[in-house]
Amino acid sequence: MLFSILIPVYNVEQYLEQCLESVLTQDFGDYEVILVDDGSKDSSASICREYAQRDPRIKYFEKKNQGLLQTRRYSIKRASGEYILFLDSDDFWEPGVMSALHAEICKSHADMICYRYRIVSDKGKRISEDRGIFPDRTLFTADNKELFLRELVSSSRLNMMWTKCVRRAIIDVETDYSAFRDKKGEDFLQSVPLIRNAATILYLDDVFVNYRMSILGRGRNFRLRYFDDYEEVRTVVKKSLIQMSVSDETMQCFFTRYIDGLMGFMDDFVYIIDGFHSFRESCSHFIAFPLYQEARKRVSPSSLRNIKHRLDYMMLEKKQYFLLYHIHKMKNYLKVMLGLKKKRRKIHSGQSA
């Protein structure tokens, strides 16, 4: 069997059928679907059972809730395909995905193939597309693979498991990821070993996945623990990079992105925090992280591309917590007011019509 498509399921009753239909209507038949319900509380499990009874290519499993990371690892162990494809149950594929991948595998025999995605609304309408990162059909080997890895640690654009087709033989199937259950950044954590183990990686400048920006989607609601998750995941990734003997340039990209990512949390962080004193305590907590302490020695504010992140980093380094807090508080207030204004306009235009 060529492909195993892994679909973890949790409370996605309104999206699940579109996801499954996008797989089952593909113009390629040599595959299995590993469908795992992670303790859903809605009708997702009954939808899964119905599809499994209807199509023998679907292997359906139910288990207690353990989160996305553990459900994916559970699925990998039950897959028998030569290549593994990942698809989240509130997303859906474009037509012709597997036939296109099959053609590329026959030509390149790549261990891993990466591709682009489209962002769609809750109702499945196009919002935007991921920009291409490399020229179409760029092949990465031992000679240039660090360029791919450098891009991975420099942004979040190559992190997603659902933009990867991976030869099962290179997956670290027996690695215990249970300590990272429900940690933010699990895709990044799992991607690094795949790149390390892949002899060849093919990049396709083609959109295969529709990524749904749903209200119920992953990563929509910020939590204070995300700072600790961020530190833990990137500490493991840093150790992997050292073991891979990457260049200092790649390590510099890793630390720059580390700071950039932390600064990217600021708006959401201030939005949920309970007042200035809690904000100051939380800032004191995460700037004491070992990785932050190492990064601040290597990363200057001027090296951050995002001007807002650059200013936030400068204020954080100078411990100007009061100013930092109130700037973001005002930004969030303006966002809310602009949102209300847009809603009023829609209501007014609807009444006028």
Domain locations in the chain?
3-212, 226-340
CATH C-level class of 3-212: alpha beta
Chain centroid to CA 94: 19
The β-bridge partners of 167 are 83
Q: Do residues 236 and 188 touch, judged by C-beta distance below 8 A?
A: no
Look up residue 10 and give its amino acid. Answer: Y
pLDDT value at 205 more than 70: yes
Q: Do residues 117 and 209 touch, judged by C-beta distance below 8 A?
A: yes
Indicate the DSSP class of residue 41.
S
Provide the pLDDT confidence category of residue 351 given band limits of 50, 70 and 90. Answer: low
Helices of type H across the chain: 16-24, 44-54, 68-77, 97-108, 145-154, 186-197, 226-243, 248-264, 266-272, 276-286, 290-298, 307-317, 321-352
The β-bridge partners of 129 are 118
Q: Do residues 203 and 111 touch, judged by C-beta distance below 8 A?
A: no
Angle of the 226-243 helix axis to the 290-298 helix axis, nearest 10? 70
Q: What is the pLDDT of residue 26?
A: 97
d(CA 53, CA 68) in angstroms, rounded, equals: 24
d(CA 302, CA 293) in angstroms, rounded, equals: 18
d(CA 79, CA 81) in angstroms, rounded, equals: 6
Can you say whether residue 47 is alpha, beta or left, with left for phi > 0 and alpha for psi between -120 and 50 degrees?
alpha
CA torsion angle for 251, 219, 70, 55 (degrees, to 10)?
A: -120
pLDDT value at 220 more than 60: no
Q: Residue 303, Cβ neighbours under 10 Å: how many?
A: 14
Q: What is the pLDDT of residue 183?
A: 86
Tens-digit pLDDT profile for residues 251-282: 999 999 999 999 999 888 888 888 999 999 99
The β-bridge partners of 212 are 120
pTM for the predicted model, two decimal places: 0.90
pLDDT value at 41 more than 80: yes
pLDDT value at 128 more than 80: yes
Q: What is the pLDDT of residue 218?
A: 44
d(CA 29, CA 166) in angstroms, rounded, equals: 18
d(CA 116, CA 205) in angstroms, rounded, equals: 6
Q: Do residues 165 and 77 touch, judged by C-beta distance below 8 A?
A: no
Tens-digit pLDDT profile for residues 108-122: 999 999 999 999 999
| DSSP codes, 87-147 | --TT-EEPTTHHHHHHHHHHHH--SEEEEEEEEE-TTS-EEEEPPP-S-TTEEE-TTTHHH
What's the whole-number average pLDDT of the chain? 93
Q: Residue 260, Cβ neighbours under 10 Å: how many?
A: 20
Q: What is the pLDDT of residue 215?
A: 59
d(CA 245, CA 235) in angstroms, rounded, equals: 16
Structure tokens at 109: 């025999």
Q: Do residues 51 and 36 touch, judged by C-beta distance below 8 A?
A: no
3-state secondary structure (DSSP) of residue 205: strand
Residues 6+ apart with CB under 8 A from 59: 32, 33, 34, 35, 52, 78
The β-bridge partners of 207 are 116
Q: What is the pLDDT of residue 181?
A: 85
Provide the pLDDT confidence category of residue 349 given band limits of 50, 70 and 90. Answer: low
pLDDT value at 353 more than 60: no
3-state secondary structure (DSSP) of residue 166: strand
Q: Do residues 110 and 93 touch, judged by C-beta distance below 8 A?
A: no
